[in-house]
Amino acid sequence: MDLHFNQNLAIGYHSGSQISRVITEDWVARNMFCPVCGAPVLGHYEANKPVADFFCDDCQSDFELKSRKSKNATIEHKIADGAYATMIERITSLRNPHLFVMTYADWKVNNLLMIPNYFFVPDIIEKRKPLAETNRRAGWVGCYIEIGDIPESGKIFIIRNSRQEDKSRVVDQYQRSLSLRKAEIGSRGWLMDVLKCLERIPDDNFRLDEVYAFADELQLKHPDNNHIHDKIRQQLQFLRDKGFVQFISPGKYCKIR
């Protein structure tokens, strides 16, 4: 995998966003395998397709690419995306593509990760202010994707700090995360919230009361649920069944990496 862009493609473009789109999409089309099934290449949709940028012929997966020039080579906490209403509709109808997030500098990829579509919930989508009346698209409302609010198990690195991850490891990580897929959006939200709580507990071994400590925070996020502790235990049982946590003894658990 060659991490360098084809700089010749930037000739004739003056807009930074256009240059970024052309060189990054060309790089993915030339270099990227399918992280879902391991197929060696991805197809490139024609420009301006509203749903996705790339597709896999073998497993029929779709992918959207978001890229950003970054001198410090870090993934931003949040990235700009399209229309807010469209994004929410795609998430709630389970039609959103998997997301590639890329950072680059000096005509070279330094980070590329994939976020599977089943890690998306409405809570990670931030509504932007409507465009001003003086704007050509006055009133249009865009959104940000809060990358920092996605659990680490939903961030599958393909390139990290200019080093390519092993292809088989990438596919294995995706397949492992696939067991966390939930179709019902409310259940998905609960699972993502509990996963984030577990990540905030520093040790791999943890107690149930350490998770209960997040109950007030979870109650604010799920005001219609009056059985927060029961819901926490339900999610821990699900994570145990899927091999992400291990039950040690009553009230004691261990994270499985």
Task: Assess whether 174 and 189 both reside in one domain.
Answer: no
Task: Assess whether 75 and 150 both reside in one domain.
Answer: yes
pLDDT-derived band at 73 (thresholds 50, 70, 90) equals: low
Task: Assess whether 162 and 198 both reside in one domain.
Answer: no
Measured N-to-C along each axis, helices 228-241 and 185-199 cross at an angle, to the nearest 10 degrees, of 80
Burial of 250 (0-12, 13-18, 19+ CB in 10 A): exposed
pLDDT score for 184: 85
pLDDT-derived band at 77 (thresholds 50, 70, 90) equals: confident
How many structural domains is the chain composed of? 2
Beta partners for residue 103, in sequence order: 68, 111
Show which of 178, 213, 228 is a domain's final residue.
Answer: 178
Average pLDDT over residues 80-88: 90
Residue, of 246 and 93, whose pLDDT is higher: 246
Q: What is the CATH number of the domain that holds 101?
A: 3.40.210.30
Half-sphere exposure of 181 (CA within 13 A, CB side): 13
Judge whether residue 70 has pLDDT over 90: no
User: Which pTM was predicted?
Assistant: 0.90
Task: Assess whether 93 and 205 both reside in one domain.
Answer: no
Q: Which residues contact 226 (CB under 8 A, 6 or more apart)?
A: none
Show which of 141, 162, 178 is a domain's final residue.
Answer: 178
Average pLDDT over residues 85-110: 90
119-140 confidence digits (pLDDT tens): 999 999 999 999 998 888 899 9
pLDDT score for 48: 63
Looking at the chain, the whole-number percentage of residues with pLDDT higher than 70 is: 98
Looking at the chain, the whole-number percentage of residues with pLDDT higher than 90 is: 77
Structural domain includes residue 31: yes
12-53 confidence digits (pLDDT tens): 888 888 899 999 999 999 999 999 999 999 999 987 666 789
pLDDT score for 50: 65
Residue 226 neighbours by CB distance under 10 Å: 9
Task: Assess whether 132 and 28 both reside in one domain.
Answer: yes
pLDDT score for 14: 82
251: left (phi over 0), alpha (psi -120 to 50) or beta: left
Residue 17: give the domain boundaries. Answer: 7-178
Rounded Cα distance between 193 and 185, Å, is: 12
Task: Assess whether 32 and 91 both reside in one domain.
Answer: yes
Task: Assess whether 65 and 150 both reside in one domain.
Answer: yes
Structural domain includes residue 1: no
Task: Assess whether 136 and 30 both reside in one domain.
Answer: yes
- Mean pLDDT, the chain, whole residue set: 92
Task: Assess whether 35 and 162 both reside in one domain.
Answer: yes
What single string gives the DSSP state of each residue in the chain? ---B--GGGGTT---HHHHHHHHHHHHHHHHPPPTTT--S--EEPPTT-SS-SEE-TTT--EEEEEEEE-TT----SEEEEEEHHHHHHHHHTT-PPEEEEEEEETTEEEEEEEE-GGG--GGGEEEPPPPPTTSTTTT--EEEEEGGGS-GGG-EEEEETTEEPPHHHHHHHHHHHHTT--SSHHHHHHHHHHHHHHHTS-SSEEEHHHHHTTHHHHHHH-TT-S-HHHHHHHHHHHHHHTTSEEEEETTEEEE--
Task: Assess whether 164 and 114 both reside in one domain.
Answer: yes
